[in-house]
Amino acid sequence: MIKAENLLKKFGNTVAVDIPELSIREGEIWGLVGNNGAGKTTFLRLMVDLLKPDTGRILSKSIPVYQSEHWKSYTGSFIDNNFLIEFLTPLEYFKFISRIYEMGRNDLYEKLESYDHFLNIKTPESSKYIRQLSSGEKHKVGVIGALLSDPEVLILDEPFNFLDPSSQIILKKILGSGSRNKTRTLILSSHNLNHISDICTRVALMEKGKIIKDFQNNRESMSEIEDYFRYQTDKS
């Protein structure tokens, strides 16, 4: 469903992403892990055409993402707060997204009701502008915005950042419920190996822009990834 071919992105002399070949199949829950500066966010930005590769391409359903906007109709994403419109309230922001996807009012409110346990838009807090919200509440708004259209492909960068433990547990259930039945391809990055282990069917390890390991998620593979980070810690 998603493919990278001869993908290279540099910033000056620094190689941010260097992936000769990668395929993410429909219905997979693909987790990307790596230390800061590994290239995870850059790779996700390339996936949603926020950055142009120096060479190579990313294909979604066999079509390069930078040659067509076809992928936008079935892809939801939240990379960072730049995706938000901070002079809107959360509800105004969700209404804006619903108009893009031509969702009816009833469909929108039904969808928001299903996420009420994650972000209750009926609280006094929700009447604030997004810019006035805490980092955690902003993050929830961004994640729900990405989920609103029930996308076939969902791309999230560090979706558990800024969330309290209860919200992290709820989000894991939300993400798992839409993906385990093979109706959604989920691509996410995280520094938290426990969350990746709990959710993902496949885990990739990135270092200096390269995918150095790509496993099916099982006890042995996660142990190998933990050993990698333990070794990095010991070296420092």
Delineate the domains of the chain, giving CATH numbers in brackets.
Answer: 1-74+153-160+187-236 (3.40.50.300)
Per-residue pLDDT, averaged over 43-47, amounts to: 98
Share of the chain above pLDDT 90, in %: 78
pLDDT score, position 10: 97
- Can you give the pTM of this predicted structure? 0.93
pLDDT score, position 178: 62
Q: What is the pLDDT of residues 119-172, one digit of tens each?
A: 988 776 678 999 999 999 999 999 999 999 999 999 999 999 999 999 999 999
**Is residue 211 predicted with pLDDT exceeding 90?**
yes
Per-residue pLDDT, averaged over 110-127, amounts to: 86
Distance separating alpha carbons of residues 13 and 170, to the nearest angstrom: 41
pLDDT score, position 226: 87
152 three-state secondary structure: coil
pLDDT score, position 181: 57
**Is residue 47 predicted with pLDDT exceeding 80?**
yes
pLDDT score, position 220: 85
pLDDT score, position 3: 97
In which region does residue 151 sit, left (phi positive, over 0), alpha (psi from -120 to 50) or beta (all else)?
A: beta
Strands (E), 51-124: 55-60, 63-64, 75-78
pLDDT score, position 176: 83
Q: Amino acid identity of 84? A: L
Burial class (CB in 10 A: 0-12, 13-18, 19+), 143: buried
E strand or H helix that includes residue 43: helix 40-47
Contacts 24+ apart (CB under 8 A), 143-147: 143/78, 143/118, 143/171, 144/94, 144/112, 144/115, 144/118, 144/119, 145/76, 145/78, 145/83, 145/84, 145/93, 145/94, 145/97, 146/76, 146/77, 146/78, 146/83, 147/76, 147/111, 147/115, 147/174, 147/178
Strand arrangement of the beta sheet that strand 153-157 belongs to? 75-78, 153-157, 185-189, 29-33, 202-207, 210-216
**Is residue 179 predicted with pLDDT exceeding 60?**
no
pLDDT score, position 25: 94
pLDDT score, position 182: 62
pLDDT score, position 6: 98
